[in-house]
Structure 1
């Protein structure tokens, strides 16, 4: 029996509220299955920490996190702290230093959730977003600040290695699950240097998967296609910025950010991977117990899958689907009146029914 060591970073705003529900689910699984045991450490590295210490985490924070099997993350953001600070002093260092180069975002329409658009079939696809370089690079700067000549340069960093390792992970998933087409999100007609290297690198990987079709689609057309025919997509490979935007659009198509999880993966497992919902800290509803915890709980299912417990991940997903389909414990974003902890409790009850 392996004991899994989890670093829990609840963060700001609604983060602690939804993380609490996710940990209740993990605890319920541990109680029901003696082969799954875990130890968790809660690390209060958030905006309050920043206001006290002028940094988002201790100087040796990455060294502390490196010893865990996984990182379970809530959300960060506080009106008292400039928005870029929690991102660039907490989230980005974790993603980049731990080589979490795959950002996996499932876009799946759950039973009983109505999409705002009329799709001809089930919406169910994955966005594989490059997570370590791309448009979210710290390369660049500003000059002549405070003058009429002020300028800013933000460099996009695309490497052949970075694109190929992401694409290979996506194509291996497609091959494993029988997906016959991978859509490559690009804009190489206008962004001629970085995006052409992107396309060439994706195609070099695709050559090793001859049974899988690669469809290059310009990002603007792809956004339109996701609205017009989302049911036709299975796997999308995208750069850091493109993947971020497309997955948020996808979340809107299947019920909103409260139903959208993500995984920041280091496939080689040399470092811990991080699991989080894609929504923010929503300070306007913090403390009201109206936040939807499903994305956070779904992120726990992705974590369990990554840790090799697909069986437990399936139990969590079945419990989520049952609660959503029953419609008796839904939060306001899904048209219900349940409080955050009531949705979490309902999911835990369905887990107990299965174990």
Structure 2
């Protein structure tokens, strides 16, 4: 039996609710499949840890996490206790950089049983491929002066290596899907970075003759997410653009609580990291109303990462069957709690 060693970080807020419940489902799926087993080690890295130790994880935290095959993360953040730029940069963003998780994948799909807030019968299924290591989220810059003379400088960084890497990855993914790739740009407003991005996209396009391509400015692309999401297949975007687009993707699906993501390391030197998009939502923590679908769909991405696409599809298909039967958490208009939803999913999977 194949053993898959994962680091588990429930983190903050609802991460502490949806992660343990999702692990129940992962254990059941490994029993159903019979060919693999998840070996799990729990790490307490969180805002609670920060309040006790003055940092989000120990000095050798990255080293500890690097020993695992993957990281299964719930959510990080509680801005009333720890500023976001500290909590996120010392954990999630720091891990993405340290572990060279250069690709962020965020699927967006109209799920059976969930009515999209969009008008009309929209049937969409696309994936946002986000550059995950630099771009607008660089640390280059700073602040100078004080009072009315204070200046904040934030410098975007776009290297050819990272830009080519994410664009080529997106072309390969489009080649495996429906042969259409959309690039998010803003070359009519950003004088240097986006013309460079467009040029690298065009150069890479020459290697993929069978892929239909388009470059769309980010403002228009955001509007098209609302008016014609069914027209997209694979979308490649810079760090900031991909972040915003994929959150909008969660909204058009019907709830940010169902949106998954995967931070992918391509060179095999470090683990990839799997986390839902929804954040820690401290305002609903402890009420047993958090939607676990985002964490479960994230588990599906992790299963696919290790080659278990069939069992991952079983998980998502079974979730959709529950949704059709109106087994839903309050954010989707239902009256099932987090644990009750997981219990229903557990029983349905056992019958499979």
Q: TM-score, normalised by structure 1?
A: 0.97
Q: Hey, what does 1:350 align to over in structure 2? A: 348
Distance 1:6 1:286 in 2: 24
1:15-34 map, 5 Å? 15-34=15-34
Q: Hey, what does 2:185 align to over in structure 1? A: 186
Q: Hey, what does 1:289 align to over in structure 2? A: 288
Q: Hey, what does 1:335 align to over in structure 2? A: 333
2:222–2:245 CA contact under 8 A, matched in 1: yes
Distance 1:113 1:120 in 2: 11
Distance 2:143 2:95 in 1: 25
Cα distance, 1:267 vs. partner? 2.3
Distance 1:170 1:144 in 2: 42
1:290–1:332 CA contact under 8 A, matched in 2: yes
2:112–2:323 CA contact under 8 A, matched in 1: yes
Give yes or no for the alignment of 1:116 onto 2:117: yes
1:306-321 map, 5 Å? 306-321=305-320
Distance 1:104 1:188 in 2: 23
2:116–2:122 CA contact under 8 A, matched in 1: no
| Shift in alpha-carbon separation, 1:84–1:308, aligned structure 2, 3 A | same
Cα distance, 1:180 vs. partner? 2.6
| Greater alpha carbon shift after TM alignment, 109-118 vs 344-353 | 344-353
Cα distance, 1:346 vs. partner? 1.5
Secondary structure of 1:88's counterpart equals: coil
Distance 2:162 2:187 in 1: 17
Query: What does the per-residue CA deviation read over 1:128-185, in whole Å, with 9 as the maximum and x for residues that have no partner?
Result: 011110111111000013x2100000111111111111111111111112x2321100
1:232-271 map, 5 Å? 232-271=231-270
Query: What does the per-residue CA deviation read over 1:87-142, in whole Å, with 9 as the maximum and x for residues that have no partner?
Result: 11111111011111111000011001111112454111100011110111111000
1:187-226 map, 5 Å? 187-226=186-225
| Greater alpha carbon shift after TM alignment, 75-84 vs 151-160 | 75-84
Q: Hey, what does 1:136 align to over in structure 2? A: 137
Instruction: Give the gaps of 5 or more residues in structure 2.
Output: none
Instruction: Give the gaps of 5 or more residues in structure 1.
Output: none
Q: TM-score, normalised by structure 2?
A: 0.97
Distance 2:215 2:162 in 1: 18
Distance 1:174 1:350 in 2: 33
What is the total number of aligned residue pairs between the two structures? 351
Cα distance, 1:311 vs. partner? 1.9
Distance 1:119 1:132 in 2: 37
Distance 1:168 1:317 in 2: 28
